[in-house]
Amino acid sequence: MDFHFNEEQLMFSDSVRALLERDCTADVLRELWAGESGRSDELWRGLAELGLTGLLLAEEHGGLGMAEVDLVLALEESGRACLPEPLVETVLAAAPLLETLAAGGGTAASVAGKWLPRVAAGEARLALEHPANPCVADAHVAELLLLLASDGSLHAVERAHVELTRQPCNDAARRLFTVDWKPGDDSLLADAAGTTRLLDAAFDRAAFGCAAQQLGIGQKLIDLAVDYAGQREQFGRAIGSFQAVKHHLATAQVAVEFARPVVYRAACSLAIGHTDAGLHVSQAKAMADEAALLAARTSLQVHGAIGYTWEVDLHAWMKRAWALEMTWGGSAWHRGRLADAVLAGVDNNPREGQLQLQGVN
Amino acid sequence: MDLDYTQQQRAFRVEAREWLEANVPGQALQSMDTEQGFAAHREWETKLNEGGWAMVSWPVEYGGRGVDLIEWLIFEEEYYRAGAPGRVNQNGIFLLGPTLMEFGNDEQKARFLPPMAAGIDVWAQGWSEPNAGSDMAAIRTTAFRDGDHYVVNGQKTWCSRAVWADWIFCIFRTDPDSERHRGLSFMLVPLDAEGVQVRAIEQLDGETGFAEVFFDNVRVPVDQLLGEEGGGWKVAMSTAGFERGLMLRSPARYQATARKLVALLRDNPEAAQRDPTLGDRVIRGWMQAEAYALQTYRTASRIIGGGSIGAESSLNKIFWSEMDLAMHETAMALLGPRAELLPTARAAGDVGDWLDGFQFALAGPIYAGTNEIQRNIAAERLLGLPRG
């Protein structure tokens, strides 16, 4: 039992942080918002050079063969930087799904052989359609899309063969689309029966990714408010010296701090394929979402009217927190999933230890 | 990062479980805040110590097993699973004990720790004064040096367990010219010393869980000073760190409450149907208890790795106290009109001890430093906001 990250994991997250602090500043974010694509190939390649885009992929696909627990701190950093790139969609949702399928040979193996090394090298992004989400995020920059046909089967379609319609949304950095396309015999990856399990696993990984990002977003929202409250003066003193302000921020920090180990536990459980990994993810998503939402509301309140403007950067993180809360299963959905398991299982067959989700089978 | 238990830890759990199953009293003891209940709880401490389970993380020479904090957490999980009695000496074993390890000299450790583990010396805490509550640095009770003694005069209040305890650990002002945090000293005083008068205070539930303690020229030998003279604030903050951050409230306690709450929800389907938010409140409590356990394992890992407990213990205290209260409020809502009945009432059915727990949980955001003070500490020392 050891809750420490090792040196390698810490160094990796430091290097991601350094890159993002340099190349993903608030100014860069605003520039990207204004562009049609909203994405930066250079930034994506930079992350790939650090190993981020291929981290979960096997070496045969140009990856590092590592696990979610090696990734979680870097994901947190991507939230802190409000990174617009599709880390969750490509690195957590789509690429590992394709790799799982490739193990069965056939079309999937050749598709994976072609595209996964490019993901690892930062030359391609992937998108995944999932019933949990009404739109496909970042479909416009995905060279390959994994799409669901009306019969529930899964297909791999290159971008040239789809028609995208952008769906306007609140977060200026997000790019959401509906996709028109036609399945062909050569596009089929898996039939409906085989797809369900893959989609469930992708859903858990993506929900975990959002949860980790929410930790970074929540902390950044608090940090922004702390900075502002230390500078802004009213009644002749910094507003951060008033208890009313302090107490709001301390309460938000409690929420972020206690979501943190739950997210880390989910990372470990996904990494080892724990039987309760999905439930651990749901708890992580529910708690990290709520922490980020509280941090958002608190940060806005502490900023006052200036926080309600486009000019101040606060809204970038606030809108991301709101968006992520509802994507890959909203916090209420995840709480419900946990509730079903807990109500069905507790006390019936207690485990040896209580830590790994006490008593749930 | 590896969140699985080692073979050794699993074996330790089994050993603890077997001993507890064989030794935990079949019937719940009377409240520790009654004279008879206090005596029964002290006897239980003696039994625990005979089995070597009083404080497993202490070194063997002081009555422990020399295991690490992870195993202490495992022991606590088994302790709550077994429904074992509350720890009447919690002020001693969980707060003063670790403080003695850090600040006591060898002679003090050898003198105070073994009888503490054995339940021979049950400890009370004497920090607050009538005019020094949240503002603890306003302490006025004095202890002035006279030869090889200090002479203590003044009054402490809200001293938990002081009615029947044997000793009390206190903070006194030893420098008459000092102000605030300076000039305070941490001392260990027997409650039967000449000049000590204890006056019980009835709590909400009518029992005497705490007391006022009056000191009238009480002579305390200098070897009962813990840490340096004038360095009492530092020692006290270490104690408070254990109190807020780790030991006073082990996660197993709240996981047990959460399990009971889930069972209560299942047993009261009509209430849950009438108010569908209750189910959500139950699962939130359950998640928080789980999060608190994970956080505590994380803290324990950090301490084992050479880290210490800092101001983040304030976040911890806010979390466990508010979680506990929320779970008990949910339980009261599930019980509905039966919630007000004492377990002895014929119409009470299986209300259990929720009412008692609810009233106790209400004290959580107040004791060990109010949550308002904890929020100030967290905002200033962790977030770096300017002092008010």
Sign of CA dihedral A348, B284, B282, B249: positive
CA dist A263 and A277 (Å) reads 11
Nearest to B96, CA basis, from B43, B157, B168, B162: B168
Pair B58, B64: CB distance under 8 Å: yes
Burial zone of B182 (CB within 10 Å; 0-12 exposed, 13-18 middle, 19+ buried): middle
The number of angstroms, rounded, from the C-alpha of A171 to the middle of its chain's C-alpha atoms is: 15
B-proximal residues of A, 243-262, CB under 8 Å = 243, 245-247, 249-251, 253-254, 257-262
What is the identity of the amino acid at B12? F
Distance from CA of A284 to the nearest CA of B (A): 9
The answer to whether residue A275 is domain-embedded is yes
What confidence tens digit (pLDDT) does each residue in B180-209 have?
999 999 999 999 999 999 999 999 999 999
What is the identity of the amino acid at B32? M
Nearest to A201, CA basis, from A288, A99, A104, A283: A99
Q: Do B319 and A251 touch (CB under 8 A)?
A: no
Percent above pLDDT 90 for chain A: 94
Pair A57, A99: CB distance under 8 Å: yes
What confidence tens digit (pLDDT) does each residue in B275-304 have?
999 999 999 999 999 999 999 999 999 999
What confidence tens digit (pLDDT) does each residue in A135-147 have?
999 999 999 999 9
Pair B102, B238: CB distance under 8 Å: yes
Residue A39 has pLDDT above 70, yes or no: yes
Asked if B295 is an interface residue toward chain A (Cβ–Cβ < 8 A), one would say yes
Query: What does chain A come to in residues?
Result: 361
Asked if B305 is an interface residue toward chain A (Cβ–Cβ < 8 A), one would say yes
Interface test with B, best of A246, A262, A274 (most B CBs within 10 A): A246
Domain of A301, in residue numbers:
203-345
Q: Do A243 and B372 touch (CB under 8 A)?
A: yes
Rounded to two decimals, the ipTM of the complex is 0.95
CA dist B376 and B370 (Å) reads 10
Q: What is the DSSP letter of A174?
A: -
What confidence tens digit (pLDDT) does each residue in A264-306 have?
999 999 999 999 999 999 999 999 999 999 999 999 999 999 9
The answer to whether residue A180 is domain-embedded is no
Closest CB from B255, B263, B387 relative to A358: B255
The answer to whether residue A250 is domain-embedded is yes
Q: Do A1 and B291 touch (CB under 8 A)?
A: no
The answer to whether residue A57 is domain-embedded is no
Tokens of B157: 């209040």
Domain count, chain A: 1
Asked if B1 is an interface residue toward chain A (Cβ–Cβ < 8 A), one would say yes
Distance from CA of B156 to the nearest CA of A (A): 28
pLDDT under 50: residue ranges of chain B = none
From chain B, pick out residues whose CB is under 8 angstroms from the CB of A339.
279-280, 282-283
Asked if B374 is an interface residue toward chain A (Cβ–Cβ < 8 A), one would say yes
Distance from CA of A223 to the nearest CA of B (A): 8
From chain A, pick out residues whose CB is under 8 angstroms from the CB of B387.
241
Model pLDDT, residue B308 = 85
The answer to whether residue A38 is domain-embedded is no
The phi and psi torsions of B240 (rounded to 5 degrees) equal -65, -35
Mean pLDDT of chain A: 94
> By CA distance, what is A360's nearest residue in B?
B259
Nearest to A324, CA basis, from A227, A220, A229, A248: A220
The phi and psi torsions of A201 (rounded to 5 degrees) equal -65, -40
From chain B, pick out residues whose CB is under 8 angstroms from the CB of A251.
318, 375
Closest CB from B74, B282, B388 relative to A243: B388
Model pLDDT, residue A354 = 40
Q: Do B1 and A250 touch (CB under 8 A)?
A: no
Chains A & B: contacts with CB separation below 8 Å: 173
From chain B, pick out residues whose CB is under 8 angstroms from the CB of A244.
none
Which is higher by pLDDT, A153 or A356?
A153
Nearest to B382, CA basis, from B324, B326, B317: B317
The answer to whether residue A309 is domain-embedded is yes
The mean pLDDT of A304-328, rounded to a whole number, is 98
Distance from CA of A229 to the nearest CA of B (A): 8
Which residues of B are catalytic, by number?
Answer: 243
The answer to whether residue A279 is domain-embedded is yes
B-proximal residues of A, 14-73, CB under 8 Å = 69
> By CA distance, what is B307's nearest residue in A?
A4
Label residue B161 left, alpha or beta by phi (over 0 means left) and psi (-120 to 50 means alpha): left
Pair B73, B303: CB distance under 8 Å: no
Model pLDDT, residue A349 = 40
- A275's enclosing H/E stretch is none
Mean pLDDT of chain B: 95
Domain containing residue A230: CATH number: 1.20.140.10
Q: Do B287 and A338 touch (CB under 8 A)?
A: yes
The answer to whether residue A30 is domain-embedded is no
Q: Do A265 and B375 touch (CB under 8 A)?
A: no
- The residue behind tokens 């209940």 is B37
**All domains of chain B in start order, with CATH:** 7-88 (no CATH), 123-232 (2.40.110.10), 249-382 (1.20.140.10)
Q: In the 3-class helix/strand/coil scheme, how is chain B assigned residue by residue?
A: CECCCCHHHHHHHHHHHHHHHHHCCCCCCCCCCCHHHHHHHHHHHHHHHHCCCCCCCCCHHHCCCCCCHHHHHHHHHHHHHCCCCCCCCHHHHHHHHHHHHHHCCHHHHHHHHHHHHCCCCCEEEECCECCECCCHHHCCCEEEEECCEEEEEEEEEEEECCCCCCEEEEEEECCCCCCCCCCEEEEEEECCCCCEEEEEECCCCCCCCEEEEEEEEEEEEHHHEECCCCEHHHHHHHHHHHHHHCCCCCHHHHHHHHHHHHHHHHHCHHHHHHCCHHHHHHHHHHHHHHHHHHHHHHHHHHHHCCCCCCCHHHHHHHHHHHHHHHHHHHHHHHHHHHHHCCCCCHHHCCCCCHHHHHHHHHHCCCCCCCHHHHHHHHHHHHCCCCCC
